A and B are shown apart, each in its own frame.
Chain A
Amino acid sequence: GENVEQHPSTLSVQEGDSAVIKCTYSDSASNYFPWYKQELGKRPQLIIDIRSNVGEKKDQRIAVTLNKTAKHFSLHITETQPEDSAVYFCAASKRDYKLSFGAGTTVTVRA
């Protein structure tokens, strides 16, 4: 099955700085890569996604890049704010649509 690895497991950044989270996947058939943000005790919330026919996607302060050849994708958050503090999960899926998640990255934005 699909194996998704996510790094780093924790990330502390100064407010206003950028944060980058990286994921790798094992199954070359995977074609959909979403990112979820989860605050403590709450549901995972879809923040951005990318499909395998696109190399980069941006939505305001967040962007995702995909390198199909290397089988890795990354989340970039610019101008971080305290409300960006949360656990971020990457995931991958293919035609069976079930999501295989990374282990998560706890992001702390220091004021």
Chain B
Amino acid sequence: DSGVTQTPKHLITATGQRVTLRCSPRSGDLSVYWYQQSLDQGLQFLIQYYNGEERAKGNILERFSAQQFPDLHSELNLSSLELGDSALYFCASSPRTGNNEQFFGPGTRLTVL
């Protein structure tokens, strides 16, 4: 167990819908990263937050957004869902920017029907 928690574990929804994925980092970790893992694209970095502020962006679609709250948990919002958004979504946390070690949560499996 990495200490990073994610909810829900599974999510099944329909095209066009909106969902919210939640992540709680390890105690004391200030950075949260979101990754998408699909069969054809592998593990792709989406976005990073550090202590409530956006720090880096990757290949995140405009339909996706995220935020990190004062208690350091983070939410990833996915809207206007398409079939191709079906994937495993992982968050990872690290102690502070400057320490690269990232520990992954168990992931949320999103299925868009």
Contact = CB atoms under 8 A, between A and B. Distances in A.
B56 interface: yes
Interface string B55-71: 11010000000000000
Contacts, number: 58
Main secondary structure of the interface of B (DSSP, over half): strand
Interface residues of A, number: 21
* Residue among A36, A96, A97 having the largest count of chain B Cβ atoms under 10 Å: A97
A98 B90 contact: no
Interface string B79-95: 00000000000100010
Contacts of B55: 96-97
Interface of B: 2, 31, 33, 35, 42-45, 48, 55-56, 58, 90, 94, 97, 100-107
